Structure 1
Amino acid sequence: MVKLDQQTSEEYTRLIIQAIDAHNQEKFRELFLELHPTDQIDIFNNFHESQRTLVYEYLTPEEFAEIFQGMELNQQKDIVKELDQEYIAETLTNMYADDLASFLGELEDQEAQDIIDHLDTEDMQEIQELMTYKPDTAGAIMTTEYVSLFTTDTVDKVMEYLREHEPDAETIYYLYVVNELNQLVGVLSLRDLIFSKLNQRIEDIMGTRVVSVNVETDQEEVARIIRKYDFIAIPVVKEDGRLVGIVTVDDVMDVIEEEIAEDFGEITATKGSVDANITSLQAAKLRAPWILMLMFLGLITAGIIGQFEATIEKAVVLAGFMPMIMGSAGNTGTQALAVMVRSIAIGEVNRAGLRQLIQREFGTGVILGAICGVTLLVIIPIVYGNLIVAFIVAFSLFCTLSVATIVGAIIPLFIERFNIDPAVASGPFITTFNDIIGLMIYFTIATSLLQYIQ
């Protein structure tokens, strides 16, 4: 199997397109099928409709399934419209069960049912069962293609089975051992199997301390467990211990990407609108609630400034430092928010470490405030010739940054207590909230020292 770099990809694409345009099926198959499926998808994306029609003719449904299951959902929906029902059914039948269930789950009910009706009974039952699990759980992302053994099997019997049947499993690096009730009782790596004596029983060489997850386990927790133990796959069981599937590391990578995109959308107040495929109107609808909420919070900021109008009138120079106070508070709070959300997401936050993490963020704010404050105490007297103004701004910034880090660290923890994604404490929300706090601190200090400003 060939893996392409940028230069060879362009050359391969040119040769493959030439083969298609010349209707040279043999040459096309020779060039195309030796590529990795990921490179096949990249080249396939360069074909126009008439060329894709020839691809469907030149490739068997089984071969095309490797390409189809690696495509993005929107592209899969478009491609399905170009295929006849028989080709679609055979293609989908050759996909891994979890990939097929994910695809069908994103279709309209009638569209999904039309496809399911063309699948054979065994496949249909398996797919429909996968689709019954709650979204974002281990059951929803697991695959049912795995290798299971019985404790009474011998090594030679298992080796013979693997050679003869070539099981259609996503991974056979791990072999899962079950009892007569199909309950998970052990696990065996392919390496241990190969290096064991042929007459040994599986129960004598298997590991019995099996790490597994329940079908209802949240997909983020599944990802954390696989990351923690460096697994390639993890078994999924029901409440009674029956083995029903496995979650593989490639599925976990998709979960991580999905969760990162979701958290990024939450933190930037663009949830749901980061997809480049949606229209401007759709993006505006998704962002509008956040923008409106932040706009109303901005009115609070304006109200605070209005309350201290007399202070600003007596010392107009103070108004020039407002953007700096607000910007510094917002930036510092967002940094603390990012640290805390990450710690929560990867499971680093626990009761023992929580207090230490908050103390660290507060200490960071104090140090940053001190550095900025000292800097301003030097610069402002030189530029504005007023030591009292320098003290007001420097001390205000010191207090603001100290408080802003605490706000940025505590709000996501408070939100998580209510079982809400802590990322909803978005950057713009924290920024606006810290703007209000920063202005309150700034003008309170300035008002108390106003009589000393010349």
Structure 2
Amino acid sequence: MEEKSEQLHQNIAHLSDLLHSGQDEAFVTSFNALHDFEMGQVYSGLPEQLRAVAWRLLDNETLATVFDNIDVDDEDIDDLLQEMPPQKAVQILRNMYADNEVDLLQEMPTRLVATYLSLMPKDEAEDIRKLINYEEQTAGSLMSIEYLAVEADLRVDEVMRLVKQQALEAEAINYVYVLDKQERLVGVISLRDLLTHPDDMLVSEITKDRIISVKAGDDQQDVAQIVADYNFISIPVTDDNDRLLGVITVDDIVDVIDEEAVEDYSGLAAVNVSQTDDTAWHSAIKRIPWLIALLLLGMSTATLISSFDGLVRKASILAVFISLITGTAGNAGTQALALAVRRLAVGSNNSAVKNFLSEILAGFLVGTATGFSVFLIVTFWKHNYQLGLAVGIAMAIAIMVANLAGYLIPVLIDKLGMDPAVASGPFITTLSDLTSVLIYFNIAQLFISHFTGA
């Protein structure tokens, strides 16, 4: 990563020097030699006064490639477009892939979006409005309307001519979709099939009518899972009447997988991890609310421990094992939470009841094994098997309860229609502390007469 960062700085410095020295042609040649992804990074990294020169030198297609490859989560991306006159910005937007164009427009103020749409041809503006209206994180919000589609009565050579004509417009040409007269999706042909069959063959003879598609309202996570399962490069999006609306390409699916992973990890860690280059101040601001909330919950644990102060005075040895039991139970709960969130994210071949019973059995086995181990350790360490038995039983039950909570809480949250990842690791750990202390001291009371003064 350091090497890539250094290369980026070198590219920016080199292109900046060319602009400063007025070597316009050399700048354009050097910029066009960059990879598409690098174009986006370099352009956004140029000083504003040099970008004002750069966008005047680069053609609309190149600038569209630039904005196609800038992360829309970058808070300054709409500012980059506003550095140009609206007419120029609209030309760039029109040359972008529709899904990227929509993502960019959704980051802008409504007033600015209305201005740009008013400068577009009516049919194009209407298409963009339809895409913008799809809910975020659905298939409709991800799809591109630049795809290859043909009718079934064409020959292979005719389709190949169409592919060549439309290739520059389409975002992906790996699949050609076959439509009937009502524009319903009836099949798909791969580019491989077109290249390996005779030119005079009807495409209907090589069309695969087993179609895997998604609906515009489907959740993006479900779409990503289908693409991963079937190893698709793109997947068609249809309406309720099977009319083809657009396609989702694998580059958007990779973004979805990354986004979902960030959300899950943020939930498990109770902090937004999407911005890795935050300042210390912004990083602290994001963490403080959760930490204070967990602190208040942790105070409940402290209050509970203090309510057993009399028990601890009778057998001070009990205090030694509090952190051992709460820490281990918290770890077990976090493990169960991670597995439950992952299972909800990617699905499971087992029924909910089978998963529940499996988790109970796993918790029992883990709790029993850990409890028995700590029983042996404490017994030989303190030469008191009653104390070892109390700690071992408490450990076993605390782990079983924490394991069950780590599994059930995200499942219940998911049933309520919320993101199960919000059942964060720190929350489960703190909750496990509370239940573990309660279990530990109640079991210790049953054995207090056997190790008082130990």
Structure-1-length-normalised TM-score: 0.90
* Corresponding residue for residue 221 of structure 1: 222
Does 63-72 or 373-382 show the bigger shift?
A: 373-382
- Tell me: CA distance 1:359–1:274, structure 2 relative to 1, closer, same or farther (3 Å): farther
**Per-residue deviation, 1:382:** 5.9
* Corresponding residue for residue 184 of structure 1: 185
Instruction: Give distance in 2, aligned partners of 1:12 and 1:432.
Output: 48
Q: Which amino acid aligns with 1:421?
A: D
Deviation by residue 1:17-41 (Cα, 9 ceiling, x = unmatched): 3322221112112222122111223
On the 8 A contact 2:331/2:429 being kept in 1, the answer is yes
State whether structure 2 residue 394 is matched by structure 1 residue 396: yes
Does 365-374 or 34-43 show the bigger shift?
A: 365-374
**Per-residue deviation, 1:304:** 2.5
* Corresponding residue for residue 414 of structure 1: 412
State which of 427, 435, 438 in structure 2 corresponds to 1:437.
435
**Per-residue deviation, 1:345:** 0.2
Deviation by residue 1:290-316 (Cα, 9 ceiling, x = unmatched): 455534433432342233222112112
- Tell me: CA distance 1:190–1:281, structure 2 relative to 1, closer, same or farther (3 Å): closer
Does 141-150 or 401-410 show the bigger shift?
A: 401-410
- Tell me: CA distance 1:441–1:99, structure 2 relative to 1, closer, same or farther (3 Å): same
Q: How does 1:254-269 map to 2 (within 5 A)?
A: 254-269=255-270
Deviation by residue 1:288-344 (Cα, 9 ceiling, x = unmatched): 3x4555344334323422332221121122123212211211111011100110011
* Aligned-residue identity in percent: 32
* Corresponding residue for residue 61 of structure 1: 60
On the 8 A contact 2:139/2:217 being kept in 1, the answer is yes
On the 8 A contact 1:143/1:245 being kept in 2, the answer is yes
**Per-residue deviation, 1:115:** 1.7
Question: Can you give the 5+ residue segments of structure 1 that lack an aligned partner in the other structure?
Answer: none
Q: Secondary structure at the match of 1:438?
A: helix
Deviation by residue 1:50-105 (Cα, 9 ceiling, x = unmatched): 22222112211221111112212313122123212222111111111111111112
Instruction: Give distance in 2, aligned partners of 1:72 and 1:234.
Output: 22
Question: Can you give the 5+ residue segments of structure 2 that lack an aligned partner in the other structure?
Answer: none
Instruction: Give distance in 2, aligned partners of 1:60 and 1:170.
Output: 19
* Corresponding residue for residue 297 of structure 1: 297
Deviation by residue 1:111-148 (Cα, 9 ceiling, x = unmatched): 21112122222221110011121222111111100011
Does 325-334 or 404-413 show the bigger shift?
A: 404-413
On the 8 A contact 2:336/2:406 being kept in 1, the answer is yes
* Corresponding residue for residue 21 of structure 2: 22
Q: Secondary structure at the match of 1:449?
A: helix
* Corresponding residue for residue 76 of structure 1: 77
Q: How does 1:269-348 map to 2 (within 5 A)?
A: 269-270=270-271, 280=281, 284=285, 288=289, 290-291=290-291, 293-348=293-348
Does 204-213 or 115-124 show the bigger shift?
A: 115-124
Instruction: Give distance in 2, aligned partners of 1:287 and 1:204.
Output: 63
**Per-residue deviation, 1:366:** 4.1
State whether structure 2 residue 206 is matched by structure 1 residue 205: yes
Instruction: Give distance in 1, aligned partners of 2:64 and 2:383.
Output: 74
Instruction: Give distance in 1, aligned partners of 2:357 and 2:170.
Output: 49
- Tell me: CA distance 1:53–1:127, structure 2 relative to 1, closer, same or farther (3 Å): same
Instruction: Give distance in 1, aligned partners of 2:305 and 2:13.
Output: 64
- Tell me: CA distance 1:179–1:286, structure 2 relative to 1, closer, same or farther (3 Å): farther
- Tell me: CA distance 1:287–1:100, structure 2 relative to 1, closer, same or farther (3 Å): farther
Q: Secondary structure at the match of 1:257?
A: helix
Instruction: Give distance in 2, aligned partners of 1:169 and 1:251.
Output: 15
* Corresponding residue for residue 50 of structure 2: 51
* Corresponding residue for residue 38 of structure 1: 37
Instruction: Give distance in 1, aligned partners of 2:218 and 2:45.
Output: 40
Deviation by residue 1:322-372 (Cα, 9 ceiling, x = unmatched): 122112111110111001100110112541xx4554455444444444454
Structure-2-length-normalised TM-score: 0.90
**Per-residue deviation, 1:193:** 0.9
On the 8 A contact 1:151/1:179 being kept in 2, the answer is yes
On the 8 A contact 1:270/1:287 being kept in 2, the answer is no
Q: Secondary structure at the match of 2:46?
A: coil
Alignment coverage as a number of residue pairs:
448
On the 8 A contact 1:233/1:246 being kept in 2, the answer is yes
Deviation by residue 1:248-302 (Cα, 9 ceiling, x = unmatched): 11111111222222222222333598575699579747863x4555344334323
- Tell me: CA distance 1:251–1:273, structure 2 relative to 1, closer, same or farther (3 Å): closer
On the 8 A contact 1:271/1:287 being kept in 2, the answer is no
- Tell me: CA distance 1:253–1:283, structure 2 relative to 1, closer, same or farther (3 Å): farther
On the 8 A contact 1:273/1:286 being kept in 2, the answer is no
- Tell me: CA distance 1:296–1:356, structure 2 relative to 1, closer, same or farther (3 Å): same
Instruction: Give distance in 2, aligned partners of 1:379 and 1:168.
Output: 70
On the 8 A contact 2:262/2:274 being kept in 1, the answer is no
Instruction: Give distance in 1, aligned partners of 2:274 and 2:35.
Output: 32
On the 8 A contact 1:265/1:274 being kept in 2, the answer is no
State whether structure 2 residue 172 is matched by structure 1 residue 171: yes
C-alpha RMSD over aligned residues: 2.6
